[in-house]
Amino acid sequence: MASLEPLPSQGPLLSIESLSAGYHRRPVVFDVTFDVAPGEIVAVLGHNGAGKTTTLKAAFGLIKPLRGQVRYQGQDITGTSCARHVRLGMSYTPSERFVFPDLTVAANLRLGALMEASRGERNRRLDQVHELFPLLKERESQLAGTFSGGEQRILSVGIALMSNPRLMFFDEPSLGVSPAITQQILSALRHMADEDGRGIVLLEQNVGYALREADRVYVMRSGRIILEESAEEMRGRTHWWDLF
């Protein structure tokens, strides 16, 4: 993928400290603290309703935190808009409605690079997305809404990459997707972390999928983080039922 400029420091790419967030002034996430380093895949695991999506929405600027701090590359971005976060180099792919179904695949990808003024740079990003996901080149004139759920999820990753983000958030990438396509997507994310130094946060209910490519794991329950482990430590457990 497109090369990224070196970070100004060796600190975390993202740092969330004592974050509380919710809706209509009612918190559903309490005192969440975690960080993401460049080139790292961090999985946030938990059942539906554990607070994973609310945490990511607050970090990305889709909702304002009630308390706590969000720092990106050392800069305090707490409560600022998601548009600013995109300009700073962040992307967010939701679990549902993540493509524009009435537009072609090519048009969906172009929208991902809407903030990039250089036509040459847009074309370079497109070539790199096509290299990573040849399907999107082969079927670029097809309407996105005619893709299968798994193919739409692949397209959603391509859209995110077109903005050339340094930090990428993915909400339930395996939701409604076949195991083969899920593994293709996770392998692509691993490649982006290793080769481009991108930080990636995966929200997942499916522990097995997440642990295949993650470096570190946080487990959420009832709006709080109850565990932080390396993925290797998590894979070594004989069972996970007691965490959820």
Tens-digit pLDDT profile for residues 201-220: 999 888 888 899 999 999 99
Q: Are 19 and 65 in contact (CB under 8 A)?
A: yes
Q: Is residue 126 part of a domain?
A: no
Structure tokens at 172: 């339930």
Residue with tokens 């009612």: 26
Residue 183 placed within a domain: yes
Nearest Cα residue to 19 out of 35, 42, 36? 35
Domain-located, residue 207: yes
In degrees and rounded to multiples of 5, residue 35 shows phi and psi of: -140, 165
For residue 182, being part of any structural domain is answered with yes
User: What pLDDT score was predicted for residue 7?
Assistant: 54
pLDDT at residue 239 in the model: 77
Q: Where does the pLDDT of residue 241 fall: very low under 50, low under 70, confident under 90, or very high at 90 and above?
A: confident
Assigned domain for 196 exists:
yes
Flag whether 85 is in a domain.
yes
Q: What pLDDT, on the 0 to 100 scale, is given for residue 176?
A: 81
Domain span at residue 81? 14-99+166-243
- 124 falls within a domain: no
pLDDT tens digits, 78-128: 999 999 999 999 999 998 878 999 999 999 999 999 888 899 999 999 999
pLDDT at 52 over 90: yes
Q: Report if residue 111 sits inside a domain.
A: no
Residue 6 has pLDDT above 60, yes or no: no
**2: amino acid identity, one letter:** A
Inform me whether the pLDDT recorded for 244 exceeds 90. Answer: no
Question: Which band of pLDDT confidence, cut at 50, 70 and 90, is reported for residue 169?
Answer: very high
Give the chain's domain count. Answer: 1
The contacts of residue 58 (CB under 8 Å, 6+ apart) are 19, 21, 29, 64, 65, 70
* Strands ordered across the beta sheet of 26-36: 26-36, 14-23, 67-72, 75-76
Q: In sequence order, what are the residues at sequence separation of 6 or more whose Cβ sits closer than 8 angstroms to the Cβ of residue 18?
A: 31, 32, 33, 67, 68, 69
Residue 7 near residue 89 (C-beta atoms within 8 A)? no
CATH number of the domain enclosing 170: 3.40.50.300
* 3-state secondary structure (DSSP) of residue 204: strand
Q: Is the pLDDT of residue 36 over 70?
A: yes
pLDDT attached to residue 174: 84
SS3 221: strand
Average the pLDDT over 132-157 and give the result.
94
